[in-house]
Structure 1
């Protein structure tokens, strides 16, 4: 499956894949699949909490050891983090025995643009 066309690290290129806020233009079939994958990944409360914990880090990244306190077991946390990575929402990097997560470049601007209301 696609990673929301977020393979590029150029944030401007990433933010342009979805060009209009919802309600201003019809989505293409490809964009609707990408957006559905993103929202499907975020529709689980544990995943949404994990995503928000990573996004809220002042350093821009979070060690799994610092964000795993979401009321589920460690293997379940790993499963949810994998789903967020597969949806293109998070990136990860292993450092020694810990894995660090960060929001994929351009994801937050794309989400904000998609959900912004035009007046």
Structure 2
């Protein structure tokens, strides 16, 4: 059985709700993949630029911004503005919490 700490159920429910949309899931997976490739890099290099995944999606920039905001609101990623560019960073603690949710706990 999975153990979830107080407040964790709501946090996970928000994350699952955000990830239930195909475009948001694809964006999140791009941020995760970029994070895993750049592990150990300094902060600016570890982030995933919105332009990095925007070309992979067949949706417009305003729609991408909407989906990125939903991921930020759910706590899955954080975004920093660097000049006119947006860079997405993985929230590792929530990423790990999601992984723990699906891993069976030893008895």
Question: TM-score scaled to structure 1, two decimals?
Answer: 0.73
Question: TM-score scaled to structure 2, two decimals?
Answer: 0.80
Q: 1:39: which partner in 2?
A: 16
C-alpha RMSD of the superposition: 1.7
Say if 2:89 is the partner of 1:97.
no
Q: 1:18: which partner in 2?
A: none
What is the 5 A alignment of 1:64-103?
64-68=50-54, 69-103=56-90
Q: 2:30: which partner in 1?
A: 53
How far, CA to CA, are the matches of 2:7 and 2:48 in structure 1? 31
CA displacement 1:25-83 (0-9 Å, x = unmatched): 4x567322221101000110100000000110122321111111211111100000000
Segments of 5+ residues of structure 1 without an aligned counterpart are: 1-22
Larger relative contact order, structure 1 or 2 (CA cutoff 8 Å, min sep 6): 1
* Bigger helix fraction: 2
How far, CA to CA, are the matches of 1:107 and 1:24 in structure 2? 16
* CA pair 32-99 structure 1, distance change in 2 beyond 3 A: same
Segments of 5+ residues of structure 2 without an aligned counterpart are: 39-45
